[in-house]
Amino acid sequence: MNRRNALWISLLLALGVGAIVAAIIATNDNVDDVSVDSNPAIVELIPPRGDTILPQSNVGVILASGWLGELTYIDNVQIPLDEQRIESALNSVIFRPDEGLVLERLPAQEVCAQIRYWEVRSPDRDQFFSWCFRVDG
C-alpha cells in the first residue's frame, strides 16, 4: 500500500467516526436522566428534572409495574395522601395544586419534590427519590 492510499483510508475512517459522533450528538435531546434511567422503579418524572412549568401543573411520577409510591414533599410542604391522585392502573402518583389544597399553586422559583416508593412484594423496604424543576409565573 502506498502512502497516498493510506492517507485516503485514514481520511475516510476519520470522516466515518465524525459522522457517527455527529449522529449521536444530533439525537441526544439532553432529556436523559441517568438517575431515572438506571432506577428500575421510576419510569417518568412529572415534570422532568430541570423543566420549567406553570404554577398549576401536575407534579408526580409514573412507576414501573410492581412498584407503589406516594409524594412526600413538594417545595418542603408535606403532601397529604388524600390530596394525591394515585392511579394503580397507570402506576402513577400525581399532585395538582388547586384551591383548598395544601398547595394552591406552586411558587415561582426552583421547586424540589420527593417521592417515597417501594416494591409491592417488599413494602417494608421503602426508598426515596428527589428531583427539582423550575416554576415560571
Look at residue 136 in the predicted model and tell me its pLDDT. Answer: 95
Residues 17 and 65 in one domain: no
Residues 12 and 78 in one domain: no
Look at residue 30 in the predicted model and tell me its pLDDT. Answer: 44
Residues 44 and 21 in one domain: no
- Rounded Cα distance, 29 and 137, in Å: 25
Residues 9 and 70 in one domain: no
Averaged pLDDT for residues 66-87: 96
Percent of the chain with pLDDT over 70: 83
Using CB atoms within 10 A of its CB, is residue 41 exposed (0-12), middle (13-18) or buried (19+)? buried
Residues 19 and 56 in one domain: no
Look at residue 89 in the predicted model and tell me its pLDDT. Answer: 87
- Rounded Cα distance, 78 and 85, in Å: 15
Q: How many CB atoms lie within 10 A of CB 8?
A: 10
Look at residue 28 in the predicted model and tell me its pLDDT. Answer: 46
- Rounded Cα distance, 55 and 50, in Å: 15
Look at residue 67 in the predicted model and tell me its pLDDT. Answer: 95
Residues 56 and 19 in one domain: no
2 — pLDDT class (breaks 50, 70, 90): confident
Is the pTM higher than 0.75? no
The sign of the CA dihedral 38, 43, 45, 50 is positive
Q: What domain count does the chain have?
A: 2
Residues 12 and 62 in one domain: no
Residues 8 and 49 in one domain: no
pLDDT single digits (tens) 17-74:
666 655 555 444 444 666 677 899 999 999 999 999 999 999 999 999 999 999 999 9
Residues 123 and 101 in one domain: yes
- The CATH number given to whatever domain includes residue 96 is 2.60.40.1220
Give the DSSP H or E segment for 99: none
- Reduce the DSSP state of residue 120 to 3 states and report it: coil
Structural domain for 25, as ranges: 1-30
